Amino acid sequence: MSDDLYREQILEHYKNPHHFGELPDADITQEGDNPLCGDVITFYLKLDDGRLGDVRFRGRGCAISQASASMLTDLIVGKPLQQLKTFPTKDLLDELGIQISPARMKCATLSVNTLRVALNGDVPEED
Amino acid sequence: MIQTRALNAEAARADFPILGRRVNGKPLIYLDSAATSQKPAVVIDTMDDYYRRYNANPHRGVYAISEEATAAYESARQRVATFINAASPKEVIFTRNTTEAINLVRYSWGRANIRPGARILLTEMEHHSNLVPWQLLAQEVQATLSFLRIDDDGLLELEQLDRQLEGVQLLAITHQSNTLGTINPIKAVAEAAHRAGALVLVDGAQTVPHMPVDVQDLGVDFYAFSGHKMCGPTGIGVLWARRSLLESMPPFRGGGDMIKRVRLNEATWNDLPWKFEAGTPSVAEGIGLGAAVDYLTQFGMDRVRSHEQTLVDYALEKLQEVPGITLYGPRDSELHGGAISFTLANIHPHDLATLVDREGIAVRAGHHCTQPLMDRLGVAATTRASFYIYNRVDEIDQLVSGIQKAQKVFA
Ligand SMILES: Cc1ncc(COP(=O)(O)O)c(C=O)c1O
């Protein structure tokens, strides 16, 4: 794990997020926010025969929250929905590849928590 | 008698053990005193001494150390009363913090007095602790809330004050905004409120630690503040109120110490101030607050204020030169206490706070418990730097260079 919170890859995702935008024909639109920090993310999910056919997101907030959403879209696009319903937070944190302090954990996990709500309804967050 | 002492930040720093600490390999630059101040050794030692030498439940024992504890605790109350120029120590109720002091008024005075359909007037810049209790009371008794607006400099718009005070039973207002730094003209506003028949509660969490406060001169009815923001410990705060009001109010919590005589089905209340202090109090914390008051008194609060005003002038000047910065709150340091909020284009406050933390600089990022104010400013969060007696101008230079470094990372 790198201890550099703002390593190049994260800044790159923040400045040029992947799958950024909206899907006009989305099957699921889900907004998530983190009132403590004011981070906001909206996912647009297009389903395709039991898989996530396509994904876009829009958002506003700190580099960690927005880069993590961008990274998450790369990890989930094309995957079976059954698998995504229980997408492990740890996989996203591994992808971020940095030590997240407790104070910033909410920022790092906003995207995956929003995805979980999108696919399962309002279930309690994973610990 | 407390010896007076010149206020020199460099000398004052030596009184605060924590300021010798390094964070991330750098000397700690603490710019978050609006959240909680650091503690001088004399406060820590005074509390330590209580636990080591005369720890006992006050007001209850007839033995020597209980009497010593009672005397120290009540002497702290006396010194707090002098510090804010209360007419009597009976008007100084010890609470846990500002929040509890405000809630005491909500439960005791508010429930007994606020009538259905009455209005409670607040401002857009209130800390959640001077907003949510009134939301809850308004729901409970069917009262309504209304708000004084702010202008783009973060000053209250008071042209319509008299009209806005019609039908108002309570004006609850902060003396200084913890987010904008705005110092409100409490004396004038309180006069107008009284003319309209309203009582005035002031949230003094950001003023008692930083400037002279004379509750009688201000002419208000309730005044709340916290020990931990004024060099004292957590767990102790103050509600000051006019004695006649306190006499008329029902108790807040029931239990030990707040009673005179208890029978199975009824009780009578203790005298002021103990009527409002049920249960074993925060003894060490109260004594610690007394030591904090003595510590601040040696400098004099007018000098604390002028030291911070110098820092605010310097910080406003240096920060406004930073490209892409937006500063909130008044530009005139006469109206601006020692807390400055800002945002940067392209860098979220949390990212900035994390990056300057690498340089050992502690600033606050977020909504500062003023979400409605964030909505008014049209931002989700700001970064806030706040000052106290131990801060130096070169720490502001360090902050500015920390911001510049962060801007390079995000360039
Ligand atoms: C203006 C203001 N009011 C109220 C409070 C609440 O103080 P406490 O948390 O000590 O109750 C604070 C500080 O957090 C404050 O800055």
pLDDT of residue B411: 86
- Per-residue pLDDT tens for A13-57? 999 999 999 999 999 999 999 877 788 999 999 999 999 999 999
pLDDT at residue A101 in the model: 85
Domain boundaries, chain A: 8-119
> For A107-118, how does the pLDDT look when each residue is reduced to its tens digit (9 = 90+)?
999 999 999 999
Distance B173 CA to ligand 1 centre (A): 13
Is the link from the previous residue into B273 a cis peptide, with omega within 30 of 0?
A: yes
Contact (CB<8Å) B409/A11? yes
Cα–Cα separations (whole angstroms), residue B106 to A14, B72, B112, B252, B364: 46, 30, 9, 9, 29
Q: Cα separation of B340 and B317, whole Å?
A: 12
Q: What is the DSSP string of B70-109?
A: HHHHHHHHHHHHHHTT-S-GGGEEEESSHHHHHHHHIIII
Per DSSP bridges, beta strands B29-30 and B361-362 are parallel
CA B142 to CA B224: how far, in whole Å?
A: 25
Domains of chain B: 9-30+300-410 (3.90.1150.10), 45-297 (3.40.640.10)
Question: Which CATH number does the domain A8-119 belong to among 3.90.1010.10, 3.40.50.1820, 3.40.50.720, 3.30.460.10?
Answer: 3.90.1010.10
Give how far Cα A65 sits from Cα of A72, A111, B244, B267, Å: 11, 7, 53, 56
A35 vs B149: which has the higher pLDDT: B149
**Which of B125, B126, B178, B230 has most ligand 1 atoms within 8 Å of its beta carbon, as the pocket-test mutant?**
B178
- ipTM comes to 0.85
The atom number, within ligand 1, closest to the CA of B177 reads 1
Q: Does A102 touch chain B (CB under 8 A)?
A: no
The yes-or-no verdict on residue A102 having pLDDT over 70 is yes
Model confidence at B39: pLDDT above 70: yes
Looking at the complex, report in whole angstroms how far the Cα of residue A34 sits from the nearest Cα belonging to chain B.
Answer: 10
pLDDT above 90 (res B61): no
CB contacts, 8 Å: A37 with chain B: 350, 366, 380-381
pLDDT on residue B126: 98
Q: Is A107 on the interface with B (CB under 8 A)?
A: yes
pLDDT interval class at A126 (50, 70, 90): low
The distance of Cα B261 from the centroid of its chain, to the nearest Å, equals: 35
Distance, CA of B172 to CA of B239 (rounded, Å): 14
Residues in contact with ligand 1 (CB, 6 Å cut-off): B 34, 97-99, 127, 129-130, 174, 178, 203, 205-206, 226, 369
Q: What is the pLDDT of residues B315-365, one digit of tens each?
A: 999 999 999 999 999 999 999 999 999 999 989 999 999 999 999 999 999
Option in B348, B371, B409 nearest A61 (CB) = B348
Which residue of the set B259, B369, B380, B393 is catalytic?
B369
Least confident of A36-50, A71-85, B41-55, B279-293: A36-50
Active site residue B231: no
Phi-psi region of B401 (alpha: psi -120 to 50; beta: other; left: phi over 0): alpha
Q: Residue A90, exposed/middle/buried by CB under 10 A (0-12, 13-18, 19+)?
A: exposed
What pLDDT is attached to residue A127?
53
DSSP string, chain A: -BS-TT-HHHHHHHHS-TTBS--TT-SEEEEEEETTTTEEEEEEEEEETTEEEEEEEEEES-HHHHHHHHHHHHHHTT-BHHHHTT--HHHHHHHHTB---GGGHHHHHHHHHHHHHHHH-SPPPP-
Of the partner residues A11, A60, A62, the one whose CB lies closest to the CB of residue B350: A62
DSSP H helices in B236-370: 243-248, 283-299, 301-319, 349-357
Query: Rounded mean pLDDT of B9-34?
Result: 96
Q: How confident is the model at residue A123 (pLDDT cuts 50, 70, 90)?
A: low
Q: How many A from CA of B236 to the centre of ligand 1?
A: 12
DSSP conformational letter for B204: -
Q: Are B165 and B193 in contact (CB under 8 A)?
A: yes
Pick A126 or B223 by higher pLDDT.
B223
Question: In this model, does residue B75 exceed pLDDT 60?
Answer: yes
Render pLDDT for A60-70 as a digit per residue (tens, 0 to 9). Answer: 999 999 999 99
> Is 60 exceeded by the pLDDT of residue A1?
no
Task: Convert the pLDDT of each residue in B364-406 to its tens digit.
Answer: 999 999 999 999 999 999 999 999 999 999 999 999 999 999 9
Give the Cα separation of B341 and B134 in Å (integer): 26
- What residues does B239 pair with on adjacent strands? B93, B224
**Phi, psi for residue A34 in degrees, rounded to 5:** -130, 85
The whole-angstrom distance between A86's CA and the closest CA on chain B is 29
A12: chain B residues, CB-CB within 8 Å: none
Contact assignment for B367 to A36 by CB distance below 8 Å: yes
- CB < 8 Å to A39, chain B: 380
Among A90-99, B159-168, B213-222, B297-306, the minimum mean pLDDT is found in A90-99
Residues 70-89 on A with a CB inside 8 Å of B are none
For chain A, state the CA radius of gyration.
14
